[in-house]
Structure 1
């Protein structure tokens, strides 16, 4: 389950049980309504299937939505350069002609992933956040002013 306050429009998520979509369907969030509450169900999201074969968007309780885990395959599909097989990926943040080029680094850390900003010519870095799911990576990209539309 993902809390409605942890989502934003455009996030990629997966349906965790049969509802308007079959379990396991990957969707994009098109609207969030955290105020709709029914017993133990907290919030509703509007979802459209990524494969575009539905007439959505359709509503789903947030308790029926889960994150899509970050995988090396997803990072590769989204122009992250594999530096160490399955463990370390980078993506430039600046024009590579600058003398002090920054890049986003995504590194596997004990089952999860850590996202850093690093410099090519320096050892300095800043840990932005530890993540597990694609929507968390999307939030980092969005906050940095980068394209947060990822392919899965």
Structure 2
């Protein structure tokens, strides 16, 4: 289950066996998405997160550096790094290549959490799953 307040428009989540894109969230906990030409609203408790996997990262252009470590260049000297295998989850870093400076941004165990980090950085958050 995902809390309604943790969802944003554009988030990818699972509804039953389907992967859906959130179109709207409401204060009463309803979350809306498109189903063909219709818009459907359901209780947020019916939605499940999509776990972030190496396969999803690779499908979206991330490169494997070493086992459990993936990166995506965002400028000539900056890249995002995703590191799997930590007890508190998948860590996401912003790193600068010339001097090795890095900032831990957050833990993102699910696709929608990585989308939030990408949006906050002004990057394209439309991921393929």
C-alpha distance in 2 between matches for 1:56 and 1:91: 36
Backbone CA RMSD of aligned residues: 1.4
2:6 corresponding residue in structure 1: 6
| Gaps in structure 2 of 5+ consecutive residues | none
Compare CA radii of gyration and give the structure with the larger one: 1
Shift of 1:47: 1.6
In the TM superposition, 1:2-151 aligns within 5 A as: 2-15=2-15, 23-34=16-27, 36=28, 43-48=29-34, 54-85=36-67, 87-94=68-75, 96=76, 101-110=77-86, 112-151=89-128
Shift of 1:60: 1.1
TM-score normalised per structure 1:
0.79
TM-score normalised per structure 2:
0.92
Q: How many residues align?
A: 128
Superposed CA offset, 1:56-99 (max 9, x none): 321110000111000011000111111114x11111121x2xxx
Hey, which bits of structure 1, 4+ residues long, moved more than 4 A? none
